[in-house]
Structure formats: structure tokens, C-alpha cells
Amino acid sequence: MSELLQRLQELLWPVAERARVVDIRIGAHWTVAALELEGRLRGGIASTLESTGEHHWGGEPPVRQAGHLLELKATDWLTLLRSLSLAERSIGLATVNALLEVDLAACREVNAEQVIMEQGTGRKVAFIGHFPFVERVRARAAVTWVFELNPHAGDLPAERAPEFLPQADVIAITGTTLLNDTFDAIMRYRNPEAYVLLLGGTAPLTPVLFDYGVDLIAGTYLEDPQTALLCVSQGATFKQVRGKRLLTLARSFR
């Protein structure tokens, strides 16, 4: 587990001890955890990642306590951040996002693509993950690199990121790097002067990330957890998840 996730787990542990589990939905694309805290329903979302398909052949199931998760405590869900199973880590990070007390007054509804365009025009931009607006940024940036575990046409394999990240002026990172243990390596290879964005529903909306080199977080706040639970349980993609609000938290807004 990354140092960042370990710190978040420690910070949120006392909060988790006061929370009561309400519901968990592990959809095809997204996982939503719902907790009750101080009389209020809180929800958190994270990408659903599955470790392997070996369970079809009698291997370890992706979620070992499937069918019994509601019998556990919020601290048990939070402990899943340390799991070897990516599906269980998704539960752990969704729990983190449900436990976080997001400072709504400090957030803005700023489009992450717009920020990348402003920061990256005429400069070198690196994407960790293939975002839908990559080609529009490519048209404005001096150089654009896209690193993917499963590369699209024009992408580079993720293992080549260390060759190019030190040259990047702007780095946009998918929040799933927190789940697959690649976040620390990415931040280690970056140019310390680069502007770093963490993007996507998985990204925790907390200023703690600023201590680890992130300048801007474009994440998701669940205003209506019950609706989000319903959507993800029916296989919703991110655009189809209702009850959410896209928010941006920055070290400083320019």
C-alpha cells in the first residue's frame, strides 16, 4: 500500500470507528460504499478493479466475504486498502471517499480538461491513463505522451513512463493509480516543477494529496448516495452514475 493510502487510513480510522455500514455495491465499472455517520448518509465511489479471472478455476475469489460485507464494520472495509485483491481495494478506497469530510467551500466546479489546456498549451503533457479529451489536448500541447497498461493506438506502454515523465511540464494521473500501486512510482519519476493533476471518480477530494506532490484533484462527491448505489448496481458507466457532483480541489486556483 502506498504511503499516501496508509496516511489516509490512519487519519480516517477514528472516523470509521464512529461510522455504521449501510450498503455496498460492486458494479461492473464502479464501486459505491454507503455509511451512516452522525445521522447522515455518506457515500464514496471508486473504480471497480478485478484482480484476475482465476476464481473461475477455483482460485481465490476477488471479494472473499462477498454476501457478508454488511455484517462487517466500517473499519473492516477501510482495512481492505491493504488487500492483495484489486476488487477489495476498490471497496477500501470507496470507503475512504465516503469517510472524507469534503470541504465544499474550498472546491470549485472546474473542468479538468480546461485546466490541462491552460497549463499545457505549448508545453509537454503526460497522461497516465487514456482520457477522452487526450486528442484535444494533443492539438494544443507541444508534446503529448499517453501511458497505458492496455495501450490504445498512439499510446505508450506504462512501463516506459520513467523515460519521459522527468521531461513533462504537466502530468494528469488517473485516480486508479492509487488502487494498482503505481502512484508512488509516477510521483518519484516526475519533474518536481511539473503541475500534477489527479483525476477521476476514484480520486479522494482531500488536501492531504498536496503533501504528496499533487496540485489539483478533480474528483467526485456523492450528493445522493442512494441513487449512486442504484446506478452502479445496474452496470452504470461513470457518465450514467446519477447523484454525483464533479468537484475540483486545488493547492491554489489561478
Q: What is the dihedral of CA 225, 229, 231, 236, to 10 degrees?
A: 110
Contacts of 183 (CB under 8 A, 6+ apart): 2, 4, 173, 177
Cα 203 from Cα 47, distance rounded (Å): 10
What's the grid cell of residue 101? 469530510
Q: Which domains does the chain have, with CATH numbers?
A: 3-102 (3.30.390.100), 105-221+244-250 (3.40.50.11590)
pLDDT in tens, the chain (254 residues): 889 999 999 999 999 999 999 999 999 999 999 999 999 999 999 999 975 555 545 578 899 999 999 999 999 999 999 999 999 999 999 999 999 999 999 999 999 999 999 999 999 999 998 898 999 999 999 999 999 988 888 899 999 999 999 999 999 999 999 999 999 999 999 999 999 999 999 999 999 999 999 999 999 999 999 999 999 999 999 999 999 999 999 998 86
Cα 225 from Cα 179, distance rounded (Å): 22
| Residue at grid coordinates 472524507 | 100
| C-beta of residue 164 within 8 angstroms of C-beta of residue 189 | no
Q: In this predicted structure, what is the pLDDT of residue 44?
A: 98
Cα 66 from Cα 24, distance rounded (Å): 10
Q: In this predicted structure, what is the pLDDT of residue 253?
A: 80
| C-beta of residue 194 within 8 angstroms of C-beta of residue 171 | yes
What's the grid cell of residue 85? 485483491
Q: In this predicted structure, what is the pLDDT of residue 249?
A: 97
pTM of the prediction? 0.94
Q: In this predicted structure, what is the pLDDT of residue 56?
A: 47
Q: What DSSP string runs through the chain? A: --HHHHHHHHHHHHHHHH-EEEEEEE-SSEEEEEEEETTEEEEEEEE-----SGGGGT---SSTTTT-GGGS-HHHHHHGGG-S-HHHHHHHHHHHHHH----GGG-B---HHHHHHHHHBTSEEEEES--TTHHHHHTTBSEEEEEESS--TT-EEGGGHHHHGGG-SEEEEEGGGGTTT-HHHHHHHS-TTSEEEEESTTS---GGGGGGT--EEEEEEES-HHHHHHHHHTT--GGG--SEEEEEEESS--
Cα 142 from Cα 131, distance rounded (Å): 18
